[in-house]
Amino acid sequence: MRASDMRGFSSVSCFNVTLEYRNEGDDKLQRKYVISLSDSKDHDAYATIIYLRNAMRHPEVKQILLNKTRFELKCDGASSNVNGELMYEIFVKWPQLFPEIFSTVEEVSWVPYCRNHGKCISDSIFGTIDVFVRNKKVKEQVKDTKDVEVAILEGLDESNQKKEKEEDKIDMLILKKNLVGKRATNKNMIVIVGIQSSCGVTCFIQEGKIINHLYPDVDRSIGQPIPLQRVVKKRKRILCLKYKPYVAFIPDIDIIVTQAHNRQKIEDEFFRSFFFMFNFLFS
């Protein structure tokens, strides 16, 4: 997402987690958007893991996830979502990092959308955020994550005020998280052969069993068993990348003058050729 129309200005990364859930004793589906803003350029599996961890540590998100028996993570087919590093994070690290949440969880499923799936609710929220930021840019400059956050909050407040029904209002949480320093040299993975073609993977926490769903099925116990085995690989890059900071745009006057001179030169040559041809035909 661009923080400014000017190419010399900075950019901001925007990562979304959409929580769809039902509370015990209430059949009503509820939805909460958790938006992470960052100055970091990384959009790989490592960045996805960091943003997900940061979201799950937030008290509001943790409260939603408590006392649940089953999680299902849906995502598109981007390489940052379909990889063995994320599988290890979800099925092995999460129960270790968040024991309070996973004390009641029986199974966790990772289910990517099929190809050409069209727009889902997680995609459409970026269109809404883009409108909020563009409206802000009409009034003033939007230069960094702080300005983007203000733009989203102001747009969200204005949008919700126009909605009469409480259930129609957008429930959104804004977080900021930058990837800093160096990553670990090695990464832990669960190797799943043909993961790009998988219809999903389910881990039964208590049994320590992983099932690869080769074919679509609502029964998460149907599929090919996979050994829960850690594979360690070296990272290709350990440094985290960051967008350049905001700088005021200073136009290069010399370029404008040169362009005007070249344009005038072309026009003069055109008219000279035109009059020469005119005199030649009618002389």
Q: Is residue 210, in this structure, part of any structural domain at all?
A: yes
214 and 278 within one domain: no
Rounded CA gap, 56 and 71, in Å? 13
Rounded CA gap, 261 and 263, in Å? 5
State residue 183 phi and psi, 5-degree precision.
Answer: -85, 170
Rounded CA gap, 195 and 78, in Å? 12
Q: Is residue 6, in this structure, part of any structural domain at all?
A: no
Expressed as residue numbers, the domain containing 74 is 13-234
171 and 274 within one domain: no
List the pLDDT tens digit at each of the 283 positions of the chain. 444 444 455 689 999 999 999 888 888 899 999 999 999 999 999 999 999 999 999 999 999 999 999 999 998 888 899 999 999 999 999 999 999 999 999 999 999 887 666 666 777 899 899 999 999 988 888 888 999 999 999 999 999 999 989 889 999 999 999 998 889 999 999 988 888 888 999 999 988 899 999 888 888 889 999 888 899 999 989 999 888 887 776 767 788 888 888 898 888 888 778 776 766 666 5
215 and 149 within one domain: yes
37 and 167 within one domain: yes
230 and 273 within one domain: no
Q: Is residue 161, in this structure, part of any structural domain at all?
A: yes
131 and 267 within one domain: no
Rounded CA gap, 134 and 146, in Å? 15
Rounded CA gap, 198 and 219, in Å? 15
Q: Is residue 240, in this structure, part of any structural domain at all?
A: no
48 and 160 within one domain: yes
Which residues of 10-52 form beta strands (DSSP E)? 13-21, 30-38
Q: Is residue 245, in this structure, part of any structural domain at all?
A: no
Q: Is residue 280, in this structure, part of any structural domain at all?
A: yes
220 and 193 within one domain: yes
Is 18:61 a contact under the CB 8 Å cutoff? no
104 and 209 within one domain: yes
Residue 258: exposed, middle, or buried by beta-carbon count in 10 A (0-12, 13-18, 19+)? exposed
Structural domains in the chain (count)? 2
What pLDDT does residue 91 have?
A: 94
Q: Is residue 244, in this structure, part of any structural domain at all?
A: no
Task: Give the other-Cβ count within 10 Å of 23's Cβ.
Answer: 11
Rounded CA gap, 27 and 72, in Å? 17
Is the four-CA dihedral 48, 49, 55, 56 of positive or negative sign? positive
268 and 185 within one domain: no
257 and 220 within one domain: no
259 and 147 within one domain: no
Q: Is residue 264, in this structure, part of any structural domain at all?
A: yes
Rounded CA gap, 197 and 224, in Å? 13
- Look at residues 170, 76, 189 and name the one whose alpha carbon lies nearest to residue 122: 76
